[in-house]
Structure 1
Amino acid sequence: MPSRLGRYAVRRRIGSGAFATVWLAYDEQLDAPVAVKVLADNWTDDHQARRRFLEEGRYLRRVESPHVVQVFDAGELDDGRPYLVMSYADQGTLADGLEIDGLTAGQALEVVRQVGAGLTALHRRDILHRDVKPANVLFRSDEGSVRAMVADLGLGKALDVSSRLTAVAGTPSFVAPEQAQGEPLDARADQYSLGALSYLLLAGRAPYSHASLAAAARPVPPPPLSTPERPYDDAVDAVLRRALAADREERWPDVEAYVDALAAALDGTAAGPPAPWLPIDPELTQPGGGPAAYPEAAQPAEQDPRSPAARRWPAVLLGVGALVAGALGGFAWEQSRPDPDVTVSDDDGTFEVTVPASWHRAVATGSWTPPTGDGEESALSVGTDRDWHDPEGTGEGVFVGVLGGTELPEQLPQHPECAVAGPRSDDVHDGDEMRTVRYEDCPGGLTVERAVQVTADRLVWIQVRSRDRATANRVLDSVAVYGM
């Protein structure tokens, strides 16, 4: 960990991803915590990556809104890497909040209002976000209340550029069909994503669970919003369905019109939330002092690759490969102290995964002998206890291992202990073929299996057991493979 980034004293690493690492730092001159985003060193000489990185800072700097993450400063380190100094979200992300307690209808509407205000500010500056989702909505304490901010414009584009050429990118369950198809975009693409986010907040479930952008390009109408547990008037459902129309011409004229219509439809259902509309976590908010006074609070986690060849597979269907429970012999298990988020690597440096602190209790970083009869191969296991993989138990954890194979297995491991077995899903990501099956209503929540063909004769198998989808998604999205 560097002691300083420019003039900013570093507190700790918040997270890292394909293009950048984010650090919690301290501005000694202004007596305030900040988030410093630094371009990953393996992209220093890539002019396109540098341009995209700096574009995000310029886009954010052009917008003056309390509901868009601010950029305060920019600079360059001695090794030539650029960095951005941004608002520090001391109250975590919307994804964090959904994992813990969910939101009331009034709180959900307030999130939509504030995110909508941030998107409107971007659109007025002719900027398209293109990746609206819970992980990109940050919460910050502000004079006794909580403020929602739109963050991460890594996919953001100027509207004039988006109208001419648009790369196919985004999060499948939230992306607009025209964006998934690579068509020219306008602000209605962000409205669609906000509609999908609104549906999730109000219904407690996402309108779609697309496994890929190809599936997102051909959406069907979502299930009815209202359920016996969460009843809503038909007018609320109608507002959301218009925002989620596959044909953008059928959507609301703009984000403001959509938010106003949703508020009117929810009138009486979503009573105005008290102030603060979200409770402030005092453990995350600490006034004054130097870097040591600031807690290790949440910021959107991105994972740090050690080389441009690092492979990652998104957790769209919560899926990743299978391991046989009895094949874990020979691992060295350890007990670990808790941390807000723990990143673990195997002994060979082949795998890396980030897990919740509660999972980081039994760690195996050695090798394993695959059931295919191959010799010892790289593997990594992290779980809540040594027997987290017991089919009848309630433990949580993730296992990643290499085994030989020239093609994906026709059948992934079965889980008769689970009441629901999802259909097999095949996909391709960054040229890697993968096969996924998700099992639900298991003793411990859900179990997911995925096999990925990483080389001509090597597979990576991953198994995840988790109580909830959100945590499984977060862990699976963090899995990285190096040197293969």
Structure 2
Amino acid sequence: MSTPSRLGRYAVRRRIGAGGFATVWLAYDEELDSLVAVKVLADNWSEDHHVRQRFVEEGRFLRKVESPHVVPVYDAGQLEDGRPYLVMAYADQGNLVDRLDLSQLPLGQAIAVVRQVGSGLQALHQRGVLHRDVKPANVLFRTVDGEVRAMVGDLGLGKAMEASSRLTMIGGTPSYVSPEQARGEPLDERSDQYSLGALAYLLVGGRPPYSHASIAAATSPLPPAPLDPRLPAGVEAAIVRAMAPAREDRWPTIATFLSVLGEAVADHPHAHADGPEAWIPADPELTQPGPRPSTPYTMPQLGSQPEEPVPPRRRWPRLVVAMLAAVALVAGALGGVFVARRTAPDASMSDASGALSVTVPRAWDAVRSTKTWKPPGQDSRFPALAAGSVSAWTDPEEEGEGVFVGLMPGDGLPTTVPGHPECPGDGTRTDDVRDGDPLVTVVWTGCPGVVVERVVQVTPSRLLWVQVRSTSQAEAYRVLDSVRTHGI
């Protein structure tokens, strides 16, 4: 998607992120001299009445709530093409996934985040709204008067309690969704309490309570693994009760849960904090008058080092997380120096950090890169590697074979992966769990040859993305199965 110069009266700075139904842009309100986030319904869903209504309802739900811990909506409108948009507060410190990528929060800050998220959920409940998708990516951080404040955001699955008291659409994130929601049963605020408990488990334990590969796996969860015994007495009991499979066994209210959790850490010397400290520096250029166009994502070919942006060769499907969609164009974003290596029947290679490795046929080792790459929308670089028989092996018009392997942020597997227009059909998708890691694999044949996309949840906040293009399906699988991570 190209960057618009304006959305309504708001000057666009850059894209913050995108999902299956909407794109969020960082924009500048010139009249009020303020940064805002503008969420725009994806154009391929603009004619879908149900999706459009759900998008508009999110703004109405958020507008009902007056809480410092719920993302506020300032404005709403329609673009010239009829798509609705919402203008919200800009979370200048990213989300909880971003923060946990740096390190685990100290106990006091972790408890403070749980309290603030819980406060936001209570405010929603008081207005008769269930969130229904509490997870790290939906916990946003914003700097207010020098302090970092946690806010609940993204009510894409939010429902009025009156509607949720009847059978509702099954949705949510497998590792955080309540069992009753996974089963499609009537819901009440104890469903959000379960998700808050799972979030608390992640924050104080350093890992999610579960790694469910599907919603079905969340219908009857086993007790989560024990937390660190060095935690203050009562912390684990409070969290485990909030996550009780039967809602009748949970705390009566979120307020009760937060109170008991607070009492459990009351005497801990490091358990008191207002919240995490700011970790993303302010960018004063964002508030300069007039739009500042952002550079389009570039796709240089393997073996080249262009100094100017190169437009993507083709438009990818819209129904996909934009960051992941760009990754599937793979190797070109790596840059770096590539060398010829043709001395062994197979070639094993690792990235510069040693975190990733893969074994490829000798012919695929004509050009390679082992340097880091920067996923779209990210300021940090991540381990990656690529190898190909020709520099343009990702181009379907070239007779090339190759593989890309890269790490990137992500707290859940994508619901869809980028398509390949040169391949007939939608591909064959397989969801699986290997060595405890959930993964999804999509295979296209007749491309000519075969293209395989695989995404693996290797840590709670890291995805491993692999693309293989080959003339032989057996060869593609052999290379795919040789991919390894190390020290992750």
State the TM-score, normalized to the length of structure 1. 0.71
- Residue 452 (structure 1) aligns with: 442
Return the offset for 1:210: 1.0
What is the rounded CA distance, in whole Å, between the counterparts of 2:395 and 2:8 in structure 1? 47
CA distance change for structure 1 residues 402 and 235 in 2, over 3 Å: closer, same or farther? farther
- Residue 58 (structure 2) aligns with: 56
Is residue 39–residue 53 contact of structure 1 (8 Å, CA) maintained in 2? Answer: yes
CA distance change for structure 1 residues 435 and 54 in 2, over 3 Å: closer, same or farther? closer
What is the rounded CA distance, in whole Å, between the counterparts of 2:405 and 2:427 in structure 1? 27
Amino acid at match of 1:381: F
What is the rounded CA distance, in whole Å, between the counterparts of 2:235 and 2:144 in structure 1? 30
What is the rounded CA distance, in whole Å, between the counterparts of 1:402 and 1:331 in structure 2? 26
- Residue 413 (structure 2) aligns with: none
- Residue 381 (structure 1) aligns with: 404
Which residues of 2 match residues 24-423 of structure 1 at below 5 A? 24-227=26-229, 231-269=230-268, 271-274=270-273, 277-281=275-279, 283-284=281-282, 286=284, 289-290=287-288, 306-307=316-317, 310=319, 325-326=360-361, 329=364, 341-342=375-376, 357-359=381-383, 366-367=392-393, 381=404, 383=406
Aligned residues: 399
CA distance change for structure 1 residues 207 and 278 in 2, over 3 Å: closer, same or farther? same
The alignment status of 1:17 with 2:15, answered yes or no, reads no
SS at match of 1:152: coil
Q: Which runs of 5 or more residues in structure 2 are unaligned?
A: 295-314, 325-356, 408-416, 467-488
Is residue 63–residue 121 contact of structure 1 (8 Å, CA) maintained in 2? Answer: yes
- Residue 472 (structure 1) aligns with: 463
Return the offset for 1:98: 0.9
SS at match of 2:104: coil
- Residue 298 (structure 2) aligns with: none
What is the rounded CA distance, in whole Å, between the counterparts of 2:399 and 2:267 in structure 1? 62
Compare 463-472 and 184-193 and name the one that shifted more.
463-472
Which residues of 2 match residues 414-453 of structure 1 at below 5 A? 433-439=429-435, 450-453=440-443
- Residue 452 (structure 2) aligns with: 461
Deviation string 1:78-111 (CA, Å, 9 cap, x unpaired) is 1111111001000111111111111011011000
What CA RMSD, in Å, does the superposition of the two structures yield over aligned residues?
A: 4.2
CA distance change for structure 1 residues 459 and 237 in 2, over 3 Å: closer, same or farther? farther
Amino acid at match of 1:65: S
What is the rounded CA distance, in whole Å, between the counterparts of 1:280 and 1:328 in structure 2? 48
What is the rounded CA distance, in whole Å, between the counterparts of 1:214 and 1:75 in structure 2? 37
What is the rounded CA distance, in whole Å, between the counterparts of 1:191 and 1:57 in structure 2? 23
Amino acid at match of 2:376: V
Amino acid at match of 1:279: E
Deviation string 1:293-350 (CA, Å, 9 cap, x unpaired) is 9999xxxxxxxx9546x468xx9xxxxxx985337827876899975x427xxxxxxx
Is residue 34–residue 88 contact of structure 1 (8 Å, CA) maintained in 2? Answer: yes
Return the offset for 1:357: 3.0
Return the offset for 1:358: 3.2
Amino acid at match of 1:342: P
Percent identity between matched residues is: 49
Amino acid at match of 1:358: F
What is the rounded CA distance, in whole Å, between the counterparts of 2:179 and 2:427 in structure 1? 22
Return the offset for 1:268: 1.9
CA distance change for structure 1 residues 153 and 188 in 2, over 3 Å: closer, same or farther? same
What is the rounded CA distance, in whole Å, between the counterparts of 1:239 and 1:328 in structure 2? 57
Return the offset for 1:76: 0.5
